[in-house]
Chains A and B, each alone.
Chain A
Amino acid sequence: MKHEHTELCAQLQSELPDYLDGEARAEICRAIETHLADCDDCRVVVDTLKKTITLYRNAPCEDVPQDVHARLVRVLSLVSTNDERINE
């Protein structure tokens, strides 16, 4: 394992969730950024974590294929007719 696990690195790991969601307090953010400036490993981890989040957030939403949509509409109309018959 290339990553040498120092105490500071461990502390950064535990503060990452709030930091990534922009919820860490200002002094924690500063401490994290100071550490990132001189720890290559943590910088790569934080950078690739941010990229991971960005990738999924920006991935396009799939359209519903036409045939899937058509079958959904048909099923719902069957259910609606069927339920009405039962309720009569």
Chain B
Amino acid sequence: MDNDSELVHAAQNGDQRAFAQLVEKYEARVYNLARKMMRDPQDAEDVLQETFISVFRHLKDFQGDASFSTWLYRIATNASLMKLRGRKTPPLSLDAPVEMDDAGALPREIVDWGITPEEALLSGEVRAQMDAAVDALPESLRAVFVLRDIEGLSVQETADVLSISVPNVKTRLHRARLMLRENLSEYFKRAK
């Protein structure tokens, strides 16, 4: 048994080994998502646990009209956003239009990095800066960016997970990429 729908079907009928296989298969994805969404590793672990507890309890209601992974990502993303919202003033709803004020969307830092992505990824300091840059994104942009560019979902899947439109995903994704580019450009300029 290795395809999701067989595993889900077996787990729905009480097969605990099938459920354990689903956990094994997806825990790294969920953990990675949670680590990028949450600043605090303990919060990320909470999100991981809450996600699979929720999957365990609601698996019987899962209809299979969405793919299992989309459904799982939705639970994990919601768990992350709820945890983030629990400790701050409520952020803008994901459906609110992104303010694309031109000043914020225009590139400011025009500097060649002088390093290839392959070289950059070898540095622990660069990877820490990449994480800090994601942390600095507003939540509504962060969720889109993490799902699309870190987890590798398609634009359509990202829209399904977040229940927002495809154009909305595209706008937010671009805005997130621009902000990250600024952040990393400032870093590489200093590091030069």
Q: Which residues of A contact B (CB under 8 A)?
A: 1-3, 5, 13, 16-17, 20-21, 41, 44-45, 47-49, 51-64, 68-69, 71-73, 75-76, 79-80, 83
In the complex, the answer to whether A59 meets B150 with C-beta atoms within 8 Å is yes
A interface majority secondary structure: helix
In the complex, the answer to whether B117 meets A51 with C-beta atoms within 8 Å is yes
Q: Does B106 sit at the interface, judged by CB under 8 A? A: yes
Q: A21 contacts which chain B residues (CB < 8 A)?
A: 155, 170
Indicate which residue in A13, A62, A69 contacts B105 across the interface (CB closer than 8 Å).
A13
24 contacts between A and B (CB under 8 A): A1-B108, A17-B170, A21-B155, A41-B107, A41-B110, A44-B110, A48-B111, A48-B112, A49-B177, A49-B181, A51-B113, A55-B121, A58-B121, A62-B28, A63-B28, A64-B27, A64-B31, A64-B48, A71-B45, A71-B49, A75-B53, A76-B23, A79-B53, A83-B57
In the complex, the answer to whether A75 meets B49 with C-beta atoms within 8 Å is yes
Known pairs A1-B108, A55-B184, A59-B150; list 19 more (Cβ under 8 Å). Answer: A2-B110, A3-B107, A44-B110, A45-B110, A47-B112, A48-B113, A52-B181, A58-B117, A59-B130, A60-B121, A61-B28, A64-B27, A64-B31, A68-B45, A71-B49, A72-B52, A76-B52, A79-B53, A79-B57
In the complex, the answer to whether A48 meets B185 with C-beta atoms within 8 Å is yes
Q: A75 contacts which chain B residues (CB < 8 A)?
A: 49, 53
Total number of residue pairs linking A and B with CB closer than 8 Å: 110
Q: Which of B135-192 contact A (CB under 8 A)?
A: 145, 149-150, 152, 155, 170-171, 173-174, 177-178, 180-181, 184-185
B interface majority secondary structure: helix
